[in-house]
Structure 1
Amino acid sequence: MATQCKLACAVVLLGMVAFAPYAEAGVSCSTVYGDLMPCLGYIMGSGKQVPAACCSGINSLYNAAATTADRQAVCSCIKSAAKGVSLDVNRAAGVLSKCGVSVSYKISADMDCSKVE
């Protein structure tokens, strides 16, 4: 189960790092992992379409991360979970757009969460 959480977070890092664990942030890592779990299969290469539950989770997380601190907290949660996990980077990078979510910065595995606004 912990590995699945790590993989789900890694998925969103590359496709959704608009969001991570500072004390003042209102979005917890458990929320991030729960919202992104439905994306795991797709990011790992299963299926040709992003599941509706994945997009629902992404949109829920996107809406929950209303402040800069929230978005930085989400980013940090995802980066922490992504360490040492291999995934389909191309699929992960495309999840946001396939779910109709856009962010104003480039998503990458090495992005600096402190610069997320």
Structure 2
Amino acid sequence: MGRRSFWWQAALVALISVMVGRLTAEIQCNDVVAHVLPCETFLLSGDARPSDACCRAVRSLDKIATKSRADRKAICRCFKDTARSFPVNLAKAQQLPKLCKVAERVAIDPKVDCNR
């Protein structure tokens, strides 16, 4: 009986740890950039429309953004930092949610307040 109780308590502690970790976890900027890499030709060059691979990447990132507010804030901060570092066509970047048919959960604007 004592051994079963120990394993039950250990499993409960592990489950709580995973849940608490998910509440505070944030996606890293390098992961965000890796997600939108298929959009590079649309965002940096003259491609008129994003590729299917780009839209799949945008939808994948959108799913991550729905998981937590911390993830949305991290994605927002990454977008802001990346836009300052690379010659991203801001108008095209702002079109991505509509062209890829996802909700705009994270504003694509270098002036946005990511804490809101």
Asked whether the two chains share a fold, i.e. TM above 0.5, the reply is yes
Q: How far is 1:105 from its partner? A: 7.2
Counterpart secondary structure, 2:104: coil
User: RMSD of the TM alignment (CA)?
Assistant: 1.8
Match of 1:29? 29
1:57-96 residue pairs with structure 2 within 5 A? 57-65=57-65, 66-96=67-97
CA contact (8 A) 1:39 1:51 kept: yes
Structure 1 residues not aligned, in runs of 5+: 1-23
Note if 1:97 corresponds to 2:98. yes
Q: What is the alpha-carbon distance in structure 1 between the residues aligned to residue 86 and residue 75 of structure 2?
A: 17
Q: How far is 1:69 from its partner? A: 0.6
Count of residue correspondences = 92
- Residue 60 of structure 1 aligns to which amino acid in structure 2? S
Query: Which has the greater radius of gyration?
Result: 2
TM-score by length of 2: 0.69
Aligned identity (percent) is 27
CA contact (8 A) 2:76 2:114 kept: yes
What are the superposed Cα offsets for residues 21-74 of structure 1, whole Å, 9 maximum, x if unpaired? xxx333121210111001111012332221111111111111012110110011
CA contact (8 A) 1:45 1:91 kept: no
Structure 2 residues not aligned, in runs of 5+: 1-23
TM-score by length of 1: 0.69
Q: Which structure shows the bigger proportion of residues in helix conformation?
A: 2
| Structure with larger RCO (C-alpha < 8 A, sep 6+) | 1
